[in-house]
Chains A and B, each alone.
Chain A
């Protein structure tokens, strides 16, 4: 993809091309930046105002009449929605997100290695096919997968897959993990393949001459060399899963709901309880924001390498 080449050449071209910016351009940019930031800032300020103030006066009056409280956060953390506290839904989000990032990346690494370094007929076709599978919108998958998880598969009268448990919707996270894994595989395979394929062939051959099999080469050579790409993709997958609403809506219920789903519910039912929504929203976005700021470099590199969830 052309983006990949852009990423590579950016590092190279740091030379002078004359600034395209003028004071006017900078002013225009600052204007856009302000427009982009103000809505978030308003919600942020509001989350620290007493509940009664939020709904009776605009957040901009805060600066003439500052009145700070952490009550909204305390109350929101303990607020119960569909049988779980918001605190618990944050834990749920974490429980969903970490395995849903580790599992697809590992499986994608395995297949990406084979596609990059084991020569077999149809390799090119398989690779393009997997890339093309990104085409499938999540919406195409939901109903059949739900039926699969609850009903299993019966072939010619014989049950070959018994589902994930009759009450799976009420118990575990397995459905969410598996669904996220499946939907992440095409992109993960594509990105990790690109990383693994750039390992110099001589390095691989040298390892093979030394008597290492593919298992060892994968673990000792390919994996360490792919770490930067793995990190970039892991951040994406983390953010994507943490921020997901659609899969969570279909495959979690009650006790297992992540924060996004709970917030979406609250927004419908308690649409005017702004003390809840302001604090809840910030609790929900604080984790991705921390990840984003801490690992921004990897994030941008991932973006440039084509990690654009389709």
Chain B
């Protein structure tokens, strides 16, 4: 595997794309062939099934680094494959079914376990260890976060909470009002695209756009915001220096980028409000504002919540905006950024870093729990 990756890396970049995709698709094609063959009846296919069950794990283990211990490859591979084959042979719903299922699901399940579940557990453990990762220190890392003197921990937690309180509400609110205002207006399409476009722009790009907008200097201003201040007779302000103003201006970048998302989804929801409802309200003499408050908002409430939750989660994890605008200086750090910064210190503060990641995780839980509950209810 290492040899293959080294060879791949030695190719020109643009050649790597087709090569890696072609090899990947060949492997997937092979998996699909095995899926097709596995459940066929007949004695011959029993042997085929056994070969698949044992052969695949052995081949994988060999490819991914057990080259040095051939005995282990065969022992582990035969154990795993043999177990699967035995379970499959006993399956009441027909032989080959289990092998088929394993072939369909195991690539993704394996990556989910290795790439998401296992690292999550590791980070949870690290949060209670010192920076070497070997000594248990209890809640010391969390105590560090909450200690006022800690270098950035508490600030980043407070800031993150402010981000989550401010950004989603404003982005959703502006998106909702905008969706309502452009609804059925003549230039609806164009007006929507203008707000929506920032969704395609990276946070990095957005941050640079706004850094330029907020620019501060002596003499001639080149940032529009300061030019406006000067135009009204004020003195230019170094926007990104003073806390908490700098933080709110950074939050504005997130709002700028997320409002389009809110607008598109809420616009679709508004359009799906039954016409009869609105007409009935009209006949009752409700003003446009009343119709909005009493008819439209209650009808699209579930969509508003989903949008608000989605933007909340984005705000909780924000990293890029801080990295590009202030690099966490002037008290602007947030959990998502501070976590990376603690890890890139020398020596890496893995304990602090893990504790900060844990806090993001804990703060995200209620939002996803709400989504998962909805989903679970819908599927019943």
Q: Which residues of A contact B (CB under 8 A)?
A: 1-3, 6-7, 9-10, 12-22, 25-26, 28-30, 32-33, 36-40, 42-43, 46, 54-60, 88, 91-92, 94-95, 98-99, 102-103, 106-108, 110-111, 113-115, 118, 120, 124, 126-128, 130-145, 148, 152, 158-165, 168, 171-174, 177-179, 181-183, 185-186, 189, 213-216, 218-219, 239, 242-246, 249-250, 260, 263-264, 267-268, 271, 274, 277-278, 280-281, 284-285, 288-289, 291-292, 296, 300, 303-304, 308-310
Contacts and interface: CB of A to CB of B under 8 A. Distances in A.
Interface stretch (B48-56, B81-89, B115-123, B161-169): B115-123
26 contacts: A2-B302, A6-B269, A18-B278, A19-B185, A29-B191, A33-B191, A57-B222, A58-B222, A107-B108, A108-B108, A111-B104, A113-B104, A128-B375, A131-B372, A141-B119, A162-B65, A173-B9, A182-B114, A182-B116, A214-B100, A267-B211, A280-B208, A281-B205, A288-B200, A292-B199, A303-B265
Nearest to A147: B122
A33 B269 contact: no
B5 A138 contact: no
A249 B327 CA distance: 13
B202 A260 contact: yes
B379 interface: yes
Given A32-B174, A139-B340, A144-B119, A214 B104 contact: yes
Contact of B340 (A181, A216, A250): A250
Given A13-B274, A133-B112, A136-B361, A29 B182 contact: yes
Q: Which of B181, B191, B340, B376 has the largest number of chain A CB atoms within 10 A?
A: B181
Interface string B294-321: 0010000011001000100110110110
The residue among A18, A40, A113, A189 with the most chain B CB atoms within 10 A of its own CB is A40
B72 interface: yes
Interface of B: 1-2, 5-6, 8-10, 13-14, 16-17, 20-21, 24-25, 28, 31-37, 39-40, 61, 64-69, 72, 76, 97, 100-101, 104-105, 107-109, 111-112, 114-120, 122-123, 126, 174, 177-178, 180-187, 191, 193-195, 197-205, 207-213, 220-224, 227, 256, 259, 261, 264-265, 268-275, 278-279, 282, 288, 291-292, 296, 302-303, 306, 310, 313-314, 316-317, 319-320, 323-324, 327, 335-336, 339-340, 343, 350, 353-354, 356-358, 360-361, 364-365, 368, 371-372, 374-376, 378-379
B204 A168 contact: no
Contacts of A161: 64-65
Nearest to A29: B181
B268 A59 contact: no
B360 A137 contact: yes
Which of A88, A107, A189, A304 lies at the interface centre, i.e. has the most chain B CB atoms within 10 A of its CB? A107
Contacts, number: 417
A145 B349 CA distance: 16
Contact of B108 (A110, A139, A144, A274): A110
Contact of A160 (B65, B205, B279, B374): B65
**What 4 A-B pairs are tightest by C-beta distance, nearest first?**
A182-B115, A215-B36, A162-B65, A243-B202
Given A21-B185, A120-B101, A57 B205 contact: no
A310 to B, nearest CB: 5
A110 B28 contact: yes
Given A36-B195, A114-B101, A284-B205, A58 B306 contact: no
A25 B177 CA distance: 9
B220 A56 contact: yes
A143 B69 contact: no
Contact of B201 (A12, A133, A185, A285): A285
Given A6-B268, A249-B340, A130 B112 contact: yes
B35 A260 contact: no
Contacts of B319: 139, 245-246
Given A131-B372, A137-B316, A285-B200, A43 B17 contact: no
Contacts of B316: 137
B279 A18 contact: yes
B69 A158 contact: yes
Contacts of B14: 91, 94-95
A301 to B, nearest CB: 10
Contact of B275 (A6, A13, A165, A284): A13
A161 B108 CA distance: 18
Contacts of A7: 268
B258 to A, nearest CB: 10
B167 to A, nearest CB: 15
B110 to A, nearest CB: 9
A141 B116 contact: yes
B208 A17 contact: no
Contacts of B2: 162-165
Contacts of A163: 2, 65
A143 B8 contact: no
Nearest to B301: A2
Contacts of B191: 29-30, 33
A138 B5 CA distance: 24
Contact of A142 (B10, B109, B114, B340): B340
Contact of A19 (B32, B183, B336): B183
A139 B336 contact: yes
A114 B38 CA distance: 15
A172 B204 CA distance: 24
Contacts of B187: 26
A103 B24 contact: yes
